[in-house]
Amino acid sequence: MSYEQLLDRITVDPGVCGGKPEGGTGVWPRLLEDPQALARVAVEALQVCHFNPATGEDGAADLCSRACYECLLSYRNQPDHPRLDRHAIRDYLLLLAQSTTARQAAGRTYEEQYAWLEERRDRSSSLEGEFLAYIRRTGRRLPDRAQYRPEQDAFAEADFFYEREGARGVCVFCDGPEHDEPGRQARDTLGRTTLEDLGYRVIMVRHDGSLEDQVQRNADVFGPGVS
């Protein structure tokens, strides 16, 4: 049974997948962005297949040998009934239920991407270092680039940049105290407004605000984090 078929048999909280499973809309992006989303899907799948998600104990041994219409069988998949066996996926789902998901950028692991960004960030900016370390510590999505100028016609270089599928990316600016100077503010506003007019999303991380609150307000970009 394919993963898509399994999703079709599971009632997933729309908060996890961002839409109905049968439509597919929003499923994959959320599974990639939320480090715990796939684990929650696995827990749901174990329950559907009559297994205790914590122990793997079979809760329907006397009622369901391999598969039944309460778990994997449906009239639509009748040709596959002889091949369906809920026990074949139990151990794999138990592992997934304890997993977290992390993106790989340009073939790099999560830790390799963090080290790559750390090497390229502005070393004179303590706020950039604090932001990047906080993203890593809370298991959120790491930026795709550092010190990146997405448009040559816009005089603005993002401290960190996130790619977006099917849309222009997200520019993150870490504004330390030096950005409070009036002349600097005017230049910042001009460059960032140009980026927004071109379709980029602009997020400003301020030195005088709570890092946790600012990141949480943009959880759709950074992810919800791992508690």
| 70 and 160 share one domain | no
Per-residue model confidence (pLDDT) at position 98: 87
Q: Is the pLDDT of residue 31 over 80?
A: no
Of the residues 46, 75, 97, the one at which a domain ends: 97
Is the pLDDT confidence value at 144 over 80?
Answer: yes
Q: Are residues 118 and 87 in the same domain?
A: no
Q: Is 26 left (phi over 0), alpha (psi -120 to 50) or beta?
A: left
pLDDT for residue 16 = 41
Predicted confidence (pLDDT) at residue 3 exceeds the cutoff of 60:
no
- At 54-83, the pLDDT tens digits run 999 999 999 999 999 999 999 999 999 999
Counting the structural domains of the chain, the total is 2
Least confident of 17-31, 112-126, 134-148: 17-31
Residue 169 neighbours by CB under 8 Å, 6+ apart: 144, 150, 161, 162, 163, 200, 201
Q: Of 97, 121, 148, which residue is a domain's last? A: 97
Phi, psi of 93 (to 5 degrees): -65, -35
Report field, pTM of the whole predicted structure over 0.75: no
Q: What is the pLDDT of residue 34?
A: 72
Please give the residue range of the domain that contains residue 163: 110-222
Buried b (16+ CB within 10 A) or exposed e, 86-117: beebbeebbebbeeebbeebeeeebeebbebb
Segment 196-218 mean pLDDT: 96
Q: Is residue 83 part of a domain?
A: yes
For residues 52 and 74, membership in a common domain is answered with yes
Query: Does 115 lie in the same domain as 86?
Result: no
pLDDT tens digit string along 151-160? Answer: 988 889 999 9
Distance CA 203, CA 90 (A): 42
> pLDDT at position 49, please?
96
Beta bridge partners of 108: 105
